[in-house]
A and B are shown apart, each in its own frame.
Chain A
Amino acid sequence: MRVLDLSCDIAGRFGASQFVAAGDDVLRCAPLQSVSPWLDDGKRVIDPAELPALLPDCDLVWTSFDRGEYLGQAAGLAVPEGCVHVTTSSYGTTGPYADWRGGSMADWAAGGYLFITGDPDREPLSGPEHLCAFAAGYTAAIGAEAAVIDRLRSGTGRHIDISTMEAMLLLHQSTFSRTASGELRRRTGRYTEVYPLTVLPCRDGYVSIGVVSDAEFDKLSIAAGRPELTADPRFADRLLRWDNRDALDQELAGFLQQHDGDHVAEILQAGGIACAKVASPLEVARNSQLASRRFWKEATDGGILPGDPLRCFHPFQGGSPGLPPKQPDALPLAGLRVWTSRSSGPVPAPPAHWPILAPM
């Protein structure tokens, strides 16, 4: 399949990169200096001057939109009706906010997560800067795949207008069902409505403990070496555990302060309790589970890049990881200036004659 990436935002670039992982031929039409080692890994980069010659042969086109306009190379461009056209933006290409300026802070607010994250007596708190855009990128890739499949069946293309705002709102599991029943979700800090489904300090940081049911609380008490807590009337059910959460924190503190977070997780998981250390980015980079599954790829600059979380085994029996299918219908690029962005393998040098273009 022939994919053309004209996007300028993280959602679009990340969404289009899902098609690289699927083995499709993804062309990124952008100035070479704008290429991202991660988001554009495996895309073939073409000079924007070649765009008119390539556009009619594309099956899937990615564009970005902000402040009422298509961005970059997509500005004023007529995308062929027969192809699948995906546009990513903070608010969408229609509606009262279509002319508004989007971005990472607006995404957290518009997606409904900002109001409910943080301490109740402090200002709302945002999460990692680009998380919403990445989630929208996954959403856009789903829409693109579904539309491509429908095009295979029906021959009909379509335009899909993905907003980060709506992508994030869809990810709320119960916020809106609670609102309809009269309960407005607010900020609760480290607490959830059940206890101890929470984060607690341990010897070298913090651990996330997942106890929802009474049976899980019994398992926690036993695994933590405090079996007497199973019979403690203060913690007899979830409502009482919530009412007596400070006392419960004190009872568990002795166990938690004896061990590092990774050790706490091992002990509690062995006892049947969901638990993990609150990891820092560096700890994630050396996480044993991810290492065992070879999730991280070595980048050519000595760093790491994430692998494809869509890990496919094919065929079933024998279980060897599947390789991307071959590219039977790559865009004809003979005579055009092309450079393959390859951040996680051998680095092909950009052609010496590559033109210096203005940033997008």
Chain B
Amino acid sequence: MIWVERPGARLDTHIAEGAEPTPFELQFNLHDAKMFRGKRSIALNLEEPKDLAVAHALARQAHVVVENFRPGVADKLGVGPAELSRINPALTYVSLSGWGADGPWAEWRSYGPSIEAASSIEGRTGYIDGEPLRLGHTLPDGVGGLVGALAALRGLRRTFAGGEGGWYDISQLEAYVTLAADGVIEAKRTGRDMPLTGNRSRQAGVLQGVFPRRGDDNWIALRLDGDADRMRFAEAARLDRVLPTNIEAAEIAITGFTRLRDKAELAASLQAAGIEAFAVLNALELAADPHLTERGFFVAVQAGGRAYPLPGTPFVADPRMAHPGARAPRPGEQTDAIRATSAPWRQEMRCSSQGG
């Protein structure tokens, strides 16, 4: 994968061996390590004809081009879908914009929170009688990326099978709304919006919530689906009677049990009783979680001679299909090497598109 960067647009976050980075430097280095690992970087100013020619030469041999300019900007720069497909008709071209390439909002600006607001996901998140709240960390960017990756692969399979290329116009809004579509379908069916329910379920018979455990900011999430689960909980908690049918009373009874327990044993003991329960883990706890460790999810990323855990790949596969430990390039690191070669990608990848 070759990443085309604008010269000077990205801070060089490289940390030399043995250097003592500031927290700011380390944070940005690791952010780059997560977002750009395994890519090669070429710095090109697309407003310069000779650099644009290099971009066109790369597009001629590429299987996939991905861009996330606002609609129309790539066309103005000479790297839009029409121009690059003329150069390479088999190309899969993926555009990732906030709202999509057409429609009344096409020119609108977006950050992740704008997409979250417009999707109804923010409007469905909040405490009972409270105001709508954003999710704790922006998800629309990542979800847009997932759909962009899926589009690239869908197009790639099509061309590997002998089909033509295509332009995928991905709207982050549409990608994100799909994750909330169940609520939209239901609201449309009933003709009314539902009030905020906090952590409570909208499903009848389901008792769920986030309950305190012993210690500061320690919580457990649990969900009891029906009478059988309520009985399991009452047994596991050694309550002298079944959980009340009144939600508030049941929540008080659950809290009375959970607040006295340590987090390490509580989730395991409830799970042993067959109950959906999981400790509300923070990032430090997740990075050291034994389950994720055994599955090899976190990878050790080197910065300044020390190793730090970062999320690896969710594709746990046999045979293996992802190698998340690769390092991120410095800005424009491979510019000279890529410019100097007429075959910037590995030969076997180019052959594979011709034979299937």
A129 and B201 form a contact (CB under 8 A): yes
A94 and B142 form a contact (CB under 8 A): no
Q: Give the distance to chain B from A159, nearest Cβ to Cβ, in Å.
A: 5
B108 and A96 form a contact (CB under 8 A): no
Most buried by A among B116, B151, B153: B153
A114 interface contact, C-beta 8 A: yes
A131 interface contact, C-beta 8 A: yes
A312 and B155 form a contact (CB under 8 A): yes
Q: How far does the alpha carbon of A101 sit from the alpha carbon of B268 in the complex, in Å?
A: 11
Q: Give the distance to chain A from B305, nearest Cβ to Cβ, in Å.
A: 14
A106 and B221 form a contact (CB under 8 A): yes
B317 and A303 form a contact (CB under 8 A): no
Q: Give the distance to chain B from A84, nearest Cβ to Cβ, in Å.
A: 10
Interface size on B (CB < 8 Å)?
150
Partner of A210, one of B109, B194, B321: B109
B31 and A206 form a contact (CB under 8 A): no
B127 interface contact, C-beta 8 A: yes
A173 and B187 form a contact (CB under 8 A): no
A187 interface contact, C-beta 8 A: yes
- Contact A292/B278 with A126-B221, A310-B150 known, Cβ cut-off 8 Å: no
B180 and A281 form a contact (CB under 8 A): yes
Q: How far does the alpha carbon of A117 sit from the alpha carbon of B188 in the complex, in Å?
A: 27
A150 interface contact, C-beta 8 A: yes
B81 and A113 form a contact (CB under 8 A): no
Partner of A124, one of B124, B155, B280, B314: B280
B104 and A143 form a contact (CB under 8 A): no
Contacting A at CB under 8 A, from B155-172, are 155-158, 160-161, 163-171
Q: How many contacting A-B pairs (Cβ < 8 A)?
A: 480
B274 and A101 form a contact (CB under 8 A): yes
Find the A residue at minimum CB distance from B93. A316
Find the A residue at minimum CB distance from B286. A112
Contacts of A156 in B (CB 8 A): 319
A304 and B114 form a contact (CB under 8 A): no
B233 interface contact, C-beta 8 A: no
Contacts of B276 in A (CB 8 A): 101-103, 105-106
Q: How far does the alpha carbon of A37 sit from the alpha carbon of B311 in the complex, in Å?
A: 35
B186 interface contact, C-beta 8 A: yes
Q: How far does the alpha carbon of A134 sit from the alpha carbon of B150 in the complex, in Å?
A: 14
A314 and B164 form a contact (CB under 8 A): yes
Contacts of B166 in A (CB 8 A): 312-316, 322
- Contact A170/B153 with A311-B171, A312-B166 known, Cβ cut-off 8 Å: no
A33 interface contact, C-beta 8 A: no
Find the B residue at minimum CB distance from A96. B291
A130 and B182 form a contact (CB under 8 A): yes
Q: Which of A71-79, A175-183, A235-243, A330-338 contacts B (4 or more CB under 8 A)?
A: A175-183
Contacts of A311 in B (CB 8 A): 100, 168-171, 174
Q: Give the distance to chain B from A126, nearest Cβ to Cβ, in Å.
A: 5
B356 interface contact, C-beta 8 A: yes
Q: How far does the alpha carbon of A147 sit from the alpha carbon of B313 in the complex, in Å?
A: 14
Q: Give the distance to chain B from A307, nearest Cβ to Cβ, in Å.
A: 8
B23 and A131 form a contact (CB under 8 A): no
A251-279 vs B, Cβ < 8 Å mask (1 yes, 0 no): 00000000000000100010011111111
Partner of B133, one of A99, A190, A301: A190
Q: How far does the alpha carbon of A156 sit from the alpha carbon of B260 in the complex, in Å?
A: 52
- Contact A317/B82 with A159-B317, A166-B292, A281-B180 known, Cβ cut-off 8 Å: yes
Contacts of B111 in A (CB 8 A): 197, 210, 212, 274
Contacts of B169 in A (CB 8 A): 311-313
Q: Give the distance to chain A from B124, nearest Cβ to Cβ, in Å.
A: 5
A228 interface contact, C-beta 8 A: no
Interface size on A (CB < 8 Å)?
138
B177 and A145 form a contact (CB under 8 A): no
A284 and B34 form a contact (CB under 8 A): no
Contacts of B156 in A (CB 8 A): 145, 149
Contacts of B266 in A (CB 8 A): none
Q: How far does the alpha carbon of A275 sit from the alpha carbon of B222 in the complex, in Å?
A: 35
A88-125 vs B, Cβ < 8 Å mask (1 yes, 0 no): 00011011110111111110111011111111001111
A169 interface contact, C-beta 8 A: yes
A279 and B210 form a contact (CB under 8 A): no
Contacts of A106 in B (CB 8 A): 221, 223, 276-278
Most buried by B among A38, A275, A279, A285: A279
Q: How far does the alpha carbon of A278 sit from the alpha carbon of B124 in the complex, in Å?
A: 10
Partner of A171, one of B93, B142, B319: B142
- Contact A177/B310 with A97-B291, A146-B153, A152-B160 known, Cβ cut-off 8 Å: yes
Contacts of A314 in B (CB 8 A): 164-167
B residues with CB within 8 A of A: 23-24, 26-31, 33-35, 81-82, 85-86, 89, 93, 98-100, 102-111, 113-127, 131-139, 141-143, 146-147, 149-151, 153-158, 160-161, 163-171, 173-175, 177-189, 191-194, 198-199, 201-203, 208-212, 217, 219-223, 225, 271, 274-284, 286-287, 290-292, 294-295, 297, 308-311, 313-319, 321, 352, 356
Q: Across chains A and B, which 5 residue pairs bring their CB atoms closest together, nearest first?
A: A116-B136, A208-B117, A177-B30, A145-B153, A281-B187
A-B pairs with beta carbons under 8 Å apart, 30 shown: A91-B291, A94-B295, A105-B278, A106-B221, A117-B134, A123-B219, A128-B183, A145-B156, A147-B317, A156-B319, A162-B316, A166-B316, A167-B314, A170-B314, A174-B27, A179-B284, A180-B30, A186-B282, A190-B134, A199-B133, A208-B122, A210-B114, A274-B98, A276-B114, A278-B122, A279-B120, A282-B193, A289-B99, A310-B150, A313-B166
Q: Apart from A274-B114, A283-B123, what are 16 other A-B pairs with CB-CB below 8 Å?
A: A100-B271, A101-B276, A103-B225, A109-B210, A116-B136, A129-B202, A138-B143, A171-B139, A177-B308, A208-B114, A212-B111, A273-B109, A281-B184, A304-B188, A306-B177, A314-B167
A residues with CB within 8 A of B: 18, 22, 38, 67, 91-92, 94-97, 99-106, 108-110, 112-119, 122-131, 134-135, 138-139, 141-143, 145-150, 152-153, 156, 158-163, 165-167, 169-190, 192, 197-199, 201, 206-208, 210, 212, 265, 269, 272-285, 287-290, 292-293, 295, 299, 301, 303-307, 309-317, 319, 322, 325
